[in-house]
Amino acid sequence: MNSSHLIRPDFEKFEKIPTKVFDSAKVASIYAAQEIANLIKQKEKEGENAVLGLATGSTPTQVYDELVRMHKEEGLSFQNVVTFNLDEYYPMEPDSIHSYVHFMNEYLFDHIDIKKENIHIPDGTLERKKVFEFCANYEEKIDSYGGLDIQILGIGRTGHVGFNEPGSSESSKTRLIALDSLTILDAASGFFGVENVPRRAITMGVGTIMKADRIFIMAWGEGKAGIVQQTIEGEITSQIPATFLQDHDNVEFLLDDASSAKLTRSKTPWLVGPIEWTDQMLKKAVVWLSKYLEKPILKLTDEDYSEHGMNDVLTDIGRAYNVNIRIFNEIQHTITGWPGGKPNSDDTYRPERREPAKKRVLIFSPHPDDDVISMGGTFIRLVDQGHEVHVAYQTSGNIAVFDDEAIRFADFVTDYHEQFGFENEDTSKLFEEVRASIKDKTPGEVDSDAVKTIKGLIRRGEAKAACRYVGIPDENMHFQDLPFYETGKVRKNPIGPEDIAITKKLIEEIQPHQIYAAGDLSDPHGTHRVCLDAIFAALRELKDEDWMKDCWTWLYRGAWQEWDIEDIEMAVPLSPEETDRKRRAIFKHQSQKDRPLFPGTDKREFWQRADDRTRNTAQTYDQLGLAEYEAMEAFVRWKELD
């Protein structure tokens, strides 16, 4: 738990729900699981049932992992536990891989000793006319057990709890509800396409949830930071049903660092109360002030500081003039057109070392296009400046290819064999087999091995084309196909020893001076996070190697977000021509162009996102009063092994 987890009275000025911020989702989940276990044990002593309200989704999975662990390793028994799940899609068959019944069995019920008759999940198979009665009974049943002792909740980006979408009232009961379009989009990747997501759900009401004795609401990752801030600091409104929790007298919001990032205590802590002015905090505050007042750093005055909660900067650190120059210089020194270091020049204030002049560089790309999307300009510069650049494609990316593309390529292989009269049973029938297996597939069902391979090869071919366009030789392209990814489903396996061993072997072979990796530190369950964990684990195992002393790791941000300005340690400016070359490298990923299979909620194509993001960084540097560039790519150094 980090120091800011304490519910300090200062925060109450802004925060209307008691909030704890933890170092990671895992630590927070262990806290929630421990509280649940305490309740179960206490009720057991009293000869009573513990009645739990449970949620599904990505948020509570680590709570369930921990409860399962406690059952297996510490003998925690669930014999006296009664559960009520918040919701279920409607219509939904319980044995569908998308049902919340399936979810709960997979994550919790199959691994503990709960009595089957004590499990309650809304029934997605009912005829429409029976739903109303079912919902009334569900409420009565909860009451018959004396109400919920603990309810756990995630929060949707619409601000829903359960599936109480905007517009739900504080007294709403269990009912059938139409899902919000944002909720449907968020669920789309799990259902392999927006068109397969059910439009309705049966959900406990806000009123049902509010009757629980104790509530834990949880959120992880930067994607939730906006709605978390509005829920905790905003006014109560039915447009954000989670805000009704402000009226509950025993609720705690559990957050990780990333999801708390937009709370006043994290974003502008100097407005909350006295703080310690570390270098990083000072930089953050000056950048904020400059952006907030829309004034370049060097024009900020003593009055600007004192009028915006930063009077103690002037007393503790110095006058505006000195502070401005110090921070301006720090940011200025992050800019370099020489991401591999500038040979024959003083590198005291440069982000990278000048020696060795020609470096071995290893770029890790979680999916086959992250390298060019997120750091294509830097990749191009490193190659142009003569470094030996390698790229490791960590996963095959095979689930993100449309079925008709696989059919097209299978057709090509079969036709090719016919044209040249090759006699090969397997490949001459490939087209028919692939087409048949895709035709019989239901949404979300795992592809056949042939289809998975074709889809992976399509993406591999695109990555190779992009590398050749940037100018690296074929032997510097490394396709790792890490096993954790190869489930054929959106949900992946956790990182395993083989993933780490494959990663370690490549690093050992290349002995790079520079590693670039996708640093989506706050993404708790995504592919990027697992890929990064594999790299970190490999580097930790290698840390005593001599050559490792010369190996620096730079983190770029994945496809969705950029580093905060105050965190950037290397900013590589791109000219309009370089931006154009980067765009062309991204275009080589044709299967992801126009409309990717997993576009998320952002309607822009990947090259547009990359363009906007790098232009934004350049504009922010410009607004702070630094030189004006067309675009900039940003990096943070990973220093754990220093």
Catalytic residues: 165
Residue 31 or 103: which CB sits closer to ligand F6R?
Answer: 103
Residue list 442-501, contact with ligand F6R (CB under 6 A): none
What amino acid occupies position 126? Answer: L
Q: Which residue, chain included where needed, has tokens 């369950």? A: 525
Residue 491 or 540: which CB sits closer to ligand F6R?
Answer: 491
Size of interface with ligand F6R, in residues (CB under 6 A): 14
Q: Where are the alpha helices (DSSP H) in 60-161?
A: 61-74, 100-107, 128-144
Residue 160 or 529: which CB sits closer to ligand F6R?
Answer: 160
d(CA 413, CA 430): 7
Q: Are strands 552-556 and 570-574 parallel, antiparallel or unpaired?
A: unpaired
d(CA 15, CA 419): 70
Residue 89 or 587: which CB sits closer to ligand F6R?
Answer: 89
Residue 156 or 625: which CB sits closer to ligand F6R?
Answer: 156
CB-closest chain residue to ligand F6R: 154
Minimum Å gap between C-beta 518 and ligand F6R is 21
Two tokens, residue 389: 């650049």
Residue 162 or 205: which CB sits closer to ligand F6R?
Answer: 162
> If binding is defined by CB under 6 A, does position 189 make contact with ligand F6R?
no
The residue ranges of DSSP E strands in 319-412, in sequence order, are: 360-365, 388-393
Minimum Å gap between C-beta 225 and ligand F6R is 13
CB-based burial of residue 475 (10 Å sphere; 0-12 exposed, 13-18 middle, 19+ buried)?
exposed
Lay out the site mask for ligand F6R across 265-304 (x = CB under 6 A, - = otherwise): ----------------------------------------
Other CB atoms closer than 10 Å to residue 238's CB: what's the count?
Answer: 17
Residue list 230-259, contact with ligand F6R (CB under 6 A): none
Lay out the site mask for ligand F6R across 162-181 (x = CB under 6 A, - = otherwise): xx------------------
Residue 94 or 309: which CB sits closer to ligand F6R?
Answer: 94
Spell out the residues 6+ positions from residue 640 whose beta carbon is closer than 8 angstroms to its own. 536, 540
Strand 251-256: give its sheet, edge to edge: 19-22, 251-256, 214-219, 150-153, 50-54, 81-85, 119-120
d(CA 279, CA 271): 17
Name the 3-class secondary structure at 393.
strand
In the set 59, 290, 336, 592, which binds ligand F6R (CB under 6 A)? 59
Name the 3-class secondary structure at 142.
helix
Cα 245 to chain center, whole Å?
Answer: 25
Residue list 139-158, contact with ligand F6R (CB under 6 A): 154-156
Q: If you write DSSP's letter for every residue of 304-364 in order, what string do you get?
A: HHHHTT-HHHHHHT--HHHHHHHHHHHHHTTB-S-TT--TTS--TTSSS---SSS-EEEEE
What amino acid occupies position 94? Answer: P
Minimum Å gap between C-beta 609 and ligand F6R is 21
Lay out the site mask for ligand F6R across 80-99 (x = CB under 6 A, - = otherwise): ------xx------------
In the set 53, 57, 241, 341, which binds ligand F6R (CB under 6 A)? 57
Minimum Å gap between C-beta 41 and ligand F6R is 25
In the set 24, 56, 480, 617, which binds ligand F6R (CB under 6 A)? 56
Other CB atoms closer than 10 Å to residue 414's CB: what's the count?
Answer: 19
Candidates 50-58, 314-322, 488-496, 632-640; binding stretch for ligand F6R (CB under 6 A): 50-58
Residue 216 or 552: which CB sits closer to ligand F6R?
Answer: 216
The residue ranges of DSSP E strands in 143-242, in sequence order, are: 150-153, 175-178, 200-203, 214-219
Angle at 105 between CA 102 and CA 108, to 5 degrees: 140
d(CA 443, CA 196): 7
In the set 121, 161, 502, 574, which binds ligand F6R (CB under 6 A)? 161
Minimum Å gap between C-beta 466 and ligand F6R is 32
In the set 160, 248, 284, 381, which binds ligand F6R (CB under 6 A)? 160
Other CB atoms closer than 10 Å to residue 35's CB: what's the count?
Answer: 17
Minimum Å gap between C-beta 121 and ligand F6R is 10
d(CA 208, CA 203): 10
Minimum Å gap between C-beta 399 and ligand F6R is 18
Residue 162 or 340: which CB sits closer to ligand F6R?
Answer: 162
Are 78 and 49 a contacting pair, CB within 8 Å? Answer: no
Candidates 51-59, 115-123, 491-499, 568-576; binding stretch for ligand F6R (CB under 6 A): 51-59
Cα 322 to chain center, whole Å?
Answer: 38
Binding site for ligand F6R (CB under 6 A): 55-59, 86-87, 154-156, 160-163
